[in-house]
Every structure is written in C-alpha cells, then in structure tokens.
Amino acid sequence: MMLLHPLTLNEEMIHSTLYHYLAGSLMDRTSILGDTIDYMKELLERIKKLQEEIEVGSDKSHNLLGIFKDLSPNEVLVRNSPKFEVERRDADTRIEICCSPKPGLLLSTISTLDAVGMEIQQCVVSCFNDFGMQASCSEDLEQRALMGSEEIKQALFRNAGYGGRCL
C-alpha cells in the first residue's frame, strides 16, 4: 500500500499562488480575445454598411459623409492632434507620445531616446489606429543637466516628422 504525502503548507501556498496567477492570466487573455472579437464584428458591420452605400449608387460626397458619420468629434480630434509629453520626476522621466503612425516610427523613436541619453525601463506601445507610446526612462545625471525636458520633447516631435515646434 502506498501512502501519499500531504503537501506542506509552503507547497500549498505556492500551488495556490500559481493557480491564481494562471487563472488571472487566462482571464486577461480571454478578455483581450473577447474585446478583439467584438471589435472585429463592429468593423465587419461598418464594412457591410459601406458596401451597401456604394451599391446604392449614391453620389460621391454622400459616400464620404457616410464613412465619417459614426466618428465622434473627439475621436477625429484625437486622431489628428499629435501629443508629445515629457515629464521629469525624481527617479525617472515619463514620456508619452500619440501621433499618426509612420513606417519605422517605433525604431526611430527608440533611437532618438537613446541619442538624448534616455534608457527605457518600462514601455507600452500601440500602433493600432495611431502610434502611441508611454515610457518610463532613466538617464545619467550629467545628461539630465545638459538637456531639458522641452528639448527632448522637440527632438521626439521632429523625429515623428512634424516640422516646426511642438506646443
């Protein structure tokens, strides 16, 4: 007859923690997948409406208005207004960028940050509708004294292909 050894308290705690982590990760993935499916359904519905409008044979200007009628004014404003923020804090520098997407923009932005002495510690990037980046960066104290947050902001603005000065 074989006896099973019960899990020790420490093993039970590790097992429980691992189970909760995996369950949470699964829920996160499920949530993301569900949101993606809902968004795809919405896009397919919009495509269907546009195809119906084209088939009806309405005039060209009416078709263009139909494309933009579902967009809220704030959504159009967000997509057209570039945003570049650089906030220096005690321990790090927070950078937030939102602008129109361009091929190679992520790589050139990282190169620009490197050129101005920033080292990315944490970063979230989105290239879905617009290019969006939120980063927490560290930098050498000597470099921090040489270049202000406004100069970093202007370097990122120029890197993204915008001429002139960022307000």
β-strand partners of 131: 99
Q: To the nearest whole percent, how much of the chain has pLDDT over 70?
A: 62
Q: Is the pLDDT of residue 26 over 80?
A: no
Residues 6+ apart with CB under 8 A from 127: 101, 106
Q: What is the pLDDT of residue 53?
A: 84
Q: What is the pLDDT of residue 111?
A: 92
The tokens of 11 are what?
A: 């093993």
Q: Is the pLDDT of residue 3 over 60?
A: no
In this prediction, residues 1-14 reach a mean pLDDT of 60
Q: Which residue has the higher pLDDT, 102 or 71?
A: 102
Least confident of 49-63, 103-117, 146-160: 49-63
Q: What is the pLDDT of residue 129?
A: 78
Q: What is the pLDDT of residue 23?
A: 61
β-strand partners of 88: 93
Q: What is the pLDDT of residue 48?
A: 85
Query: Average model confidence (pLDDT) for the chain?
Result: 76
Residues 6+ apart with CB under 8 A from 159: 105, 108, 109, 112
- DSSP character at residue 81: S
Q: What is the pLDDT of residue 28?
A: 64
Q: How confident is the model at residue 140 (pLDDT cuts 50, 70, 90)?
A: confident
Least confident of 29-43, 50-64, 124-138, 146-160: 50-64
CA distance 56 to 15: 61
In this prediction, residues 3-19 reach a mean pLDDT of 63
Burial 67-80 (b: 16+ CB within 10 A, else e): eeeeeeeeeeeeee
